A = this chain, B = another copy of it.
Amino acid sequence: MHTIINFLNQKRTIRKSLIFLSIIFVSFGCKKENNSKTEVFVTNESELNEAISKAEAGNTIIMANGVWKDIQIKFIGEGTEKAPITLKAQTPGSVFIEGVSNLEMAGNYLVVNGLFFRNGYTPTNDVISFRVSEKKVANHSRVTNCVIVDYNQLQRDKDDHWVQLYGKHNQFDHCYLAGKTNGGPTLRVDIRGNQSIRNYHQIVNNHFGPRPRKGGARGETIQLGGSFSSMSPGNTIIANNLFEECNGEVEIISSKTNFNEIRNNVFYKSEGSVVTRHGNYAIIDGNYFIGDGVNKNYGGIRLVNTGHWITNNYFYNIIGENFRSALAVMNGIPKSPLNRYNQVTDVVVAYNTYIDCKSPWQFGVGTNISQADVLPKSEIRSARALRTEVVNNIIYNKVGDKNVIIEHDKADGVTFKSNIINNQSVNFYDTLKIKAADFTLTKVSENIYLPTLTNEYEIYKGFGFETITKDLFGNSRETKNSIGATVQGEYIDPEILDKTKYGADWYSNEIEPTSPNIVVATNTEDDLETKISTSKSGDIISLSPGKYYISSPLVIDKTITIQSKENEKAEIIYTGTKNTPLFELNPYGILTLKNISLTGNGEQIVFSNLKENMSNHYGLTVQECDINNFNYVLKAYKQTFAQEITFKNSTISNCENGIELSEETNDKGDYNVEFLTIDGCTFTNINQNIIDYYRGGYDESTIGGNLLITNSTFKNCGSKEQNKILLNHRGIVNVAIHNNSFVDNKVKLVALLWGAKNNVASDNTIRNSGIIKTEENLKQKLMY
C-alpha cells in the first residue's frame, strides 16, 4: 500500500512541475465568423481551453502554427452529425505537439485534424485518447490527418498507446504513426464497458510506418481489446491501411474481440502476422501480405478461436514458418483459460491466393504436447482445429515446394476442397487436400501476380458462402466466380504501395537518399570528440593514423561510422575512470567501428548505453577491430535495446567480461538485442560473461532473440565463469553456433542448447572446453 501512495504522490509532483514549467504562449486569440459557422483561432493553452469550453456544434477551433509544448488537451464537446466541433491545425502539419503532452476527447461528433506529435511523450497511458475518464467517452468522433512519430516514453518498459479508442462509432483515418519503441500497442481499441462495445470504429486509410523490433511482447501495431473483454462484440473495422515494416513483435494486428473486420489492408514487409488472438468471428478479407522471399519474419494470418472467415487474401513471397507462416492454424488448449489459446473451430479459409510462399499452410501450430513434462496441463496446446474449411484456394510456386502443408499436429478436423496448386510438378505432401494443376500467372504489378486458369475448377460452397459476394478487387463473385482471391480476367493494378493513398496528406516518410560526409579526425586534443558531435547522422569519421587518448565517454546519438583512414589501425586508448564506457550509445546512436584498435586499463567498458531514459534504440557494428584490456566489452542496461549488434573479424582479449546483454530478467519475454552476431572473431582470456544474452519467461509468442556465432575462436576464456557455461544464451529462441573453435576454456559447457526451440550447433572444434549440451525442454517461468 505504501508503494502505491508514494507512487501517486510522486506522479502528482511531476504533474505540478510540468504545469509550472509549461511555456505560457502570448495570447492573441481572435474570433471570426465564417459562413455562419464560428471559427476560433487560438494561440495558447488557456485560449484553447476557453475555446473548447465554449464550443458549440458547428464550431471550429484553429490551433496556431508552431510548437505547443507540455500541453494536455481535453477536447470535450457536443457536436452533431451535421455540425461537428472541429479542432484543427492552422496549417496541417505545422502544429507541433511536443514535450509531455496528449489529447483526450469526450462527447459527440468531434473532429481533430492536422496535428503532429513529436519530440515528447504522453503523461498518461495514451497520446490520443477517445475518452477523458472511464465513462466520459467520445462517440461519432474522428481524428484525421494527424501524425505521431517517435513519441516514446523515456523508458522502454513504460507502456503506453499512441492512440486508444473508446466509445462508439469513432474514426481514425489518414494518419501516420511510426517509430514506437516502448511497450504497448501503437493503437488500441478498448471495449470494456457497455459504452464501448459494438463500436463500429473505423480505422481506415492510415499509414502505419516502421515500428522497430521491440525485443519482447507488447509491440503490436494494433490491438483490439484484451483477453478479459474477449467475450464482447467489438465490430471494429480496420480497412485500407498500409502497414509498412511494422516489426514490433510477432503480432501486427492482435484481434481480441468479436466480429472485427480487417479488410483491404496492405501488410508490406512487416515482421509479424495478423492474429485472431482472442475473440471470434473476425472477417479477414481482401488483404495483401507482401514479403521478399528472404526475410522469414514476415508473416501472414495466424488463427486462434472460433468462426473466423479468411477470404480473398493475397500472399506474396511470404516464407515465414510456424507462427509466421502465411496461414498458421494453431492448436488450442482444451478448456483453455481465458487468456490462453482456445481451439480453432468453425473457421473458413476460402478464396485466397498464395504466390511463392514457403509451406504456406501450417496446422497444429504451437502444439507442445511434447512439453507436458515441463508445463502445466493448462498450457498444453493439444486441441486441433475442428469444423474448419480450407477451400477454393490457389497456390503457385515458381520453385516447387515439397512441404506445401505442414501439419505440426494433424489437420484431421479440417475439410479441404477445391484447392489447387501449380507446384512445378514437384511432389508435395497431400494431393487429397490440394490438387496439382497447370496454370500460369499474370503480372498485375510489382508484387501482384495472379493465376490465369485455363480449366474450370469446381467451387466448394459451404454454409454461408453466399455472403462472399466480392473478390480481392471488389469484383462481383455472384455473376462470375472462381477459386482464388480474384475472379478471372478482371485485373486492375490496385497500386497498393502508392503511399499517397494512406496517412496524412502533408507527411511523407520517403527520405531522399544522401551520400555520407567523410570527416577526417586527427589525434589532436578533442578533435575526435568535436567531429563526432558536429557530424551529421550517417557521416563517416575517418581517423588519421596514431594514438587517440580519450579520457571521457564519446557520446553517440546518431548513426555514425568511425574507421581508420589508412589500412593501419588507428589506436584509441581509453583513460577514463573505472566502469565508464569509451562509447556511450545514446538513443538513436548507431555506431559502426571499423579497423580500429581499442585499449583500456582493465577497469572500463568499451560500449555501453544510458542507464536510464534510453527512449529509443541503439545499434553497434564492430569490424576488424582489436579490443584489449577492459572490464566489459559491452554492457547493456535494463530497458535498452538494439535491433542489431555485430562483431566481425575482430579480436577481443584480456577482458574481465565480454558481451553482456542479460538485463531483462523480469521474465516477461523481453530481451536486450534482437540479433547478436559474432563472426570471425577471436576471444582470448575473457574471464566471465563471454557472451551473456538472456530472455526469460515461457512465452510461445515472443519468438526472438537471435544469436549467431560462427567462424570464431574462444581460447582461455571462462576462468571465473560461475555457471561454468562459456556461451550463455538462456531463453534465446534462435541460436546457431557453427564452425567455431573452442580451446582450453575452463568451463563445463560451451553452450546449453534449447532443443525444443531453434537452437543448433555444428562443425565446432572443442578441445578442453567441456561440451555442447542440448536440453529439450527448458524450464521457464510462466508469464501468464
Known: A232-B346, A307-B197, A307-B232. A335 touches B338 (CB 8 A): yes
Task: Determine the distance from Cα of A338 to Cα of B278 in the docked complex, in whole angstroms.
Answer: 12
Contacts of A346 in B (CB 8 A): 192-194, 197, 232
Question: Is A513 in the interface zone, CB < 8 Å from B?
Answer: no
Closest to A332 in B: B338
Range for the number of chain A residues in contact with chain B: 35 or more
Within 8 A of B (CB), among A291-327: 305-307
Are B231's CB and A307's CB within 8 A? yes
Known: A193-B346, A346-B193, A463-B194. A232 touches B306 (CB 8 A): yes
Question: Is A216 in the interface zone, CB < 8 Å from B?
Answer: no
Question: Is A378 in the interface zone, CB < 8 Å from B?
Answer: yes
Question: Is A281 in the interface zone, CB < 8 Å from B?
Answer: yes
Contacts of A281 in B (CB 8 A): 232-233
Task: Determine the distance from Cα of A378 to Cα of B377 in the docked complex, in whole angstroms.
Answer: 11
18 sample A-B contacts, Cβ–Cβ < 8 Å, listed by A number: A192-B346, A193-B463, A194-B348, A194-B464, A195-B463, A197-B346, A227-B335, A228-B343, A228-B345, A229-B306, A231-B231, A231-B280, A233-B281, A335-B784, A336-B337, A337-B337, A337-B338, A378-B378
Task: Determine the distance from Cα of A579 to Cα of B657 in the docked complex, in whole angstroms.
Answer: 85
Question: Is A342 in the interface zone, CB < 8 Å from B?
Answer: yes
Are A345's CB and B462's CB within 8 A? no
Are B232's CB and A194's CB within 8 A? no
Are B307's CB and A194's CB within 8 A? yes
Bitwise interface map of A from 176 to 193 toward B, beta carbon under 8 Å scored 1, else 0: 000000000000000011
Task: Determine the distance from Cα of A197 to Cα of B308 in the docked complex, in whole angstroms.
Answer: 13
Known: A336-B337, A378-B337. A231 touches B193 (CB 8 A): no
Known: A192-B345, A339-B335. A232 touches B280 (CB 8 A): yes
| Interchain nearest-CB distance for A434 vs B (Å) | 22
Contacts of A232 in B (CB 8 A): 280-281, 306-307, 346
Closest to A279 in B: B231
Question: Is A387 in the interface zone, CB < 8 Å from B?
Answer: yes
Are B192's CB and A231's CB within 8 A? no
Main secondary structure of the interface of A (DSSP, over half): loop
Contacts of A306 in B (CB 8 A): 229, 231-232
Are A335's CB and B337's CB within 8 A? yes
| Interchain nearest-CB distance for A225 vs B (Å) | 12
Bitwise interface map of A from 339 to 375 toward B, beta carbon under 8 Å scored 1, else 0: 1101101101000000000000000000000000000
Contacts of A337 in B (CB 8 A): 335-338, 378
Most chain B beta-carbon neighbours within 10 Å: one of A227, A463, A784:
A463
Closest to A307 in B: B232
Contacts of A336 in B (CB 8 A): 337-338
Are B342's CB and A231's CB within 8 A? yes
Task: Determine the distance from Cα of A512 to Cα of B281 in the docked complex, in whole angstroms.
Answer: 54
Are A305's CB and B463's CB within 8 A? no
| Interchain nearest-CB distance for A777 vs B (Å) | 22
Within 8 A of B (CB), among A271-293: 280-281
Bitwise interface map of A from 39 to 79 toward B, beta carbon under 8 Å scored 1, else 0: 00000000000000000000000000000000000000000
Bitwise interface map of A from 221 to 243 toward B, beta carbon under 8 Å scored 1, else 0: 00000011101110000000000
Task: Determine the distance from Cα of A784 to Cα of B378 in the docked complex, in whole angstroms.
Answer: 13
Task: Determine the distance from Cα of A464 to Cα of B139 in the docked complex, in whole angstroms.
Answer: 13
Contacts of A305 in B (CB 8 A): 231
Contacts of A340 in B (CB 8 A): 335
Closest to A227 in B: B335
Contacts of A343 in B (CB 8 A): 228
Task: Determine the distance from Cα of A68 to Cα of B718 in the docked complex, in whole angstroms.
Answer: 88
Task: Determine the distance from Cα of A195 to Cα of B340 in the docked complex, in whole angstroms.
Answer: 27
| Interchain nearest-CB distance for A632 vs B (Å) | 41
Task: Determine the distance from Cα of A338 to Cα of B341 in the docked complex, in whole angstroms.
Answer: 10
Task: Determine the distance from Cα of A784 to Cα of B193 in the docked complex, in whole angstroms.
Answer: 30
Task: Determine the distance from Cα of A784 to Cα of B335 in the docked complex, in whole angstroms.
Answer: 9
Closest to A462 in B: B194
Bitwise interface map of A from 617 to 633 toward B, beta carbon under 8 Å scored 1, else 0: 00000000000000000
| Interchain nearest-CB distance for A310 vs B (Å) | 14
| Interchain nearest-CB distance for A415 vs B (Å) | 10
| Interchain nearest-CB distance for A197 vs B (Å) | 7
